[in-house]
Amino acid sequence: MKPVYYSEYLQLDKILNAQEEESKKNGVRADDEMLFIIIHQSYELWFKQILHEVGIVREIFLKQNIEDNSPDMYTAVHRLKRVAAILQMLVDKISILETMTPLDFLDFRDFLRPASGFQSIQFKILEAALGLPFDKRFGQQYYLSQLNTADVDRVKKAESEISLFTLVSQWLERMPFIKDAEYWPEPTSFISSYKSIYQESLQEGEKQNMHLFDALFTAPSEHLEGRRLSIEANRSALFIMLYRDFPLLNTPFQFLNCLLDIDELLAQWRYRHMNMVQRMIGRRIGTGGSTGAEYLKAAADTHYVFKEFADLTSFLIQRNRLPTLPETLASKLGYGQ
């Protein structure tokens, strides 16, 4: 076996010589451009790692049969927890970039046009891989307008592939716990009995939730206009959230919780980025021609991928009020024979 040398293995000659300052090329001294380049290069490296992790999870959920406490589910949770840890680091890394003042940035900003973070292909691919659909995007009119032909093709290819959101929805639809008589002698009785308990738990001013309850859990699927999770997926996700203390449902619950963590951290990253841009350039347009902080705020407000799962927490009740599960089902969920 050939010996491996540290710098050759990491290809440090390529990495450490990949910072070419535009200010220096133009004969201007701008000491903070090196920080700006390294921060953004490191972001792209971590985006690559996130895409690697999400790709593994998507491969798992492409299978037609995933046992709820199988090695596959543990792997999926592990991978998504790593994605969340990386995103937390990327949020925190903005603090380093904020050590650069607005005047420091202006020393080299004009040399960057029309390059922009809006041209980050990996981030667009990540959004598509997670499940942000084109029709939910803000700024659709210039979403691809700043990209070259090859990168437009890469993004469109990513959008044509099945997303993690869709795969998770299909996985939830296959869950048998509240629709299969083998597990629940009267499957339809759970929703009706739960609806009564939930309605009793509502405070004054929350009664309007019942209309949405019916739309999400009892109405025909065609009544779910504007939502992507089906009735079956909503029911299964709610069931997992309610009965997560049963061993068989704990890993699926962790998985759904990881999706919400990722959405929250992406939102934090977008808001930190927006506030930093507002601080750096005020009301100026972005180097790529966007409306700058205004665009970033609108994207942060709308680009939630897993919001429909978060909405389901509106329909939780206290543990001590949960309907008692049939003994046969409780036994199976608790590893009983």
Least confident of 173-187, 243-257, 259-273, 286-300: 286-300
Of 284-288, 294-298, 307-311, 328-332, give the range with the top mean pLDDT.
Answer: 307-311
What CATH number should be reported for the domain holding residue 225? 1.20.58.480
Determine how many CB atoms are found less than 10 A away from the CB of residue 141: 7
Q: Of 317, 37, 23, 27, nearest to 197 (Cα)?
A: 317
Share of the chain above pLDDT 90, in %: 55
Q: Specify the pLDDT at position 337.
A: 47
CB distance 109 to 286 below 8 Å: no
Report how many domains make up the chain: 1
Residue 132, Ramachandran bin (φ over 0: left; ψ between -120 and 50: alpha; else beta)? beta
Average pLDDT of the chain? 87
Question: 66-87: string of b/e by CB count within 10 Å (b at 16+)?
Answer: bebeeebbeebbebbbbbbebb
Which residue type is seen at 40?
H
Residue-wise pLDDT tens digits, 245-281: 999 999 999 999 999 999 999 999 988 988 888 888 7
CB distance 116 to 288 below 8 Å: yes
Least confident of 32-46, 167-181, 246-260: 167-181
In a domain, 78, yes or no: yes
Share of the chain above pLDDT 70, in %: 89
pLDDT value at 31 more than 60: yes
Taking the alpha carbons at both ends of the chain, their separation in whole angstroms is 51
Confidence of residue 127 (pLDDT cuts 50, 70, 90): very high
In a domain, 255, yes or no: yes
pLDDT value at 111 more than 70: yes
Residue-wise pLDDT tens digits, 186-232: 656 788 888 889 998 888 888 888 888 888 888 665 546 678 998 88
Residue-wise pLDDT tens digits, 3-16: 999 999 999 999 99
CB distance 128 to 50 below 8 Å: no
Lookup result for tokens 């999870």: 57
**How much is the average pLDDT of 125-152?**
83
H/E element holding 222? none
In a domain, 20, yes or no: no
How many helices and strands, by DSSP H and E, does the chain display? 16, 0
Q: Specify the pLDDT at position 57.
A: 97
In a domain, 21, yes or no: no
Coil, strand or helix at 52: helix
Q: What is the distance, to the nearest Å, from the Cα of residue 48 to the centroid of all Cα atoms in its chain?
A: 15
Higher pLDDT residue, 240 or 279? 240
In a domain, 261, yes or no: yes
Confidence of residue 289 (pLDDT cuts 50, 70, 90): low
In a domain, 203, yes or no: yes
Owning domain of residue 145: 33-333
